[in-house]
Amino acid sequence: MRHFLTLLDISPDEARHILQRAEKIKRKLKEGKPTRPLEGKTLGMIFDKASTRTRVSFEVGMYQLGGHALFLHSGTTQLGRGEPIEDSARVLSGMVDGVIIRTYAHETVQRFAEYSTVPVINALTDLTHPCQVLTDVFTYEEQRGCIKGRTVVWIGDGNNMAHSWINGAVTFGYRLRIACPAGYAPDEKAVAAARALGADVSLTHDPLEAVAGADLVTTDVWASMGQEHEQAERARAFADYRVDARIMSYAHPDALFMHCLPAHRGEEVTADVIDGPQSVVWVEAENRLHAQKGLLEFLMA
């Protein structure tokens, strides 16, 4: 049984296949010739965290692929009343053809996958967000060609997005530079594991050093879901890590800017950058739909 809990769950060749299929599925849709390989299939969608792009992209994606998506919020299911994850996995995988989970603890999706008899997709945990980086690589390659050997810069918190960019350096072969304040670095084990697999990952506290000559600059909010009580403290710590025109001027002139959204203009990014000519965040947002359709077909067709 194949699951997608991190980018390391697929090989570089499999990742390339998924993106090629995503490109073809997107092109066919734009031509009015939708691809429907999941006719009669059903996707269970378990959400503990709020969502806009994740829910809409998976639900619409399943419909466009010929299948059906079923939204399940933990607060209105037996999971919210204390049913063991293992029991829910056994029950749901007997009724649906695949499951996505958007939750807090990464252990939750791991335990669910262990007892599931259908593919499980990590739609975000506090540790990783692999669907987003799969999408971001897809978007970069649409705009600029193959990302292998290019320089990607992550500026900000060493959070779940940073961890997925680290894993992606193994899968896609780009150079990754991470600029974060002291005390907010990504998990050391994730960095060490990626380097052991041959990834080029470097860390610095200087965003200007990191962004010099970069091909892609990306960031995220300073306080993720569940960290709102740290907002003031984080605003002070990240004050020098705002992606603005000065920081972008150090990147390659052809560099792109990405953000997984939602964004707080004036905090982690200025309005002139996210709404400027180097930003591809709106294409990136739409591409969640197409990249995930490639993933769904790979796991469920």
Domains and CATH numbers, the chain: 3-129+287-300 (3.40.50.1370), 132-284 (3.40.50.1370)
Q: Is the peptide bond before 207 cis (omega within 30 degrees of 0)?
A: no
**Integer angstrom CA distances of residue 275 from 126, 227, 258, 263, 270:** 28, 26, 11, 11, 9
Name the binding residues: 51-54, 78, 102, 129-132, 160, 220, 224-225, 260-261, 288
Nearest residue to 299 via CA among 35, 62, 46? 62
pLDDT tens for the chain, 301 residues: list them: 899 999 999 999 999 999 999 999 999 999 999 999 999 999 999 999 989 999 999 999 999 999 999 999 877 777 766 789 999 999 999 999 999 999 999 999 999 999 999 999 999 999 999 999 999 999 999 999 999 999 999 999 999 999 999 999 999 999 999 999 999 999 999 999 999 999 999 999 999 999 999 999 999 998 776 667 778 889 999 999 999 999 999 999 999 999 999 999 999 999 999 999 999 999 999 999 999 999 999 999 9
Q: Counting every residue, how long is the chain? A: 301
The token pair at 106 is 């990464």
Strand 98-102: give its sheet, edge to edge: 68-73, 42-47, 98-102, 120-124
- pTM of the predicted model, to two decimals? 0.96
Please report, in range form, the residues annotated as the binding site for L-ornithine: 160, 220, 224-225
Give the ranges where 116-203 is alpha helix by DSSP (H). 130-144, 160-172, 188-196
* 6 close to 164: Cβ distance less than 8 angstroms: yes
Could you give the C-alpha distances from 189 to 109, 163, 167, 192, 194, in angstroms and in order?
Answer: 19, 10, 11, 5, 9
Spatial distance between the Cα atoms of 276 and 246, rounded to a whole number of angstroms: 13
Residues annotated catalytic, as ranges: 102, 129, 132, 220, 260, 288
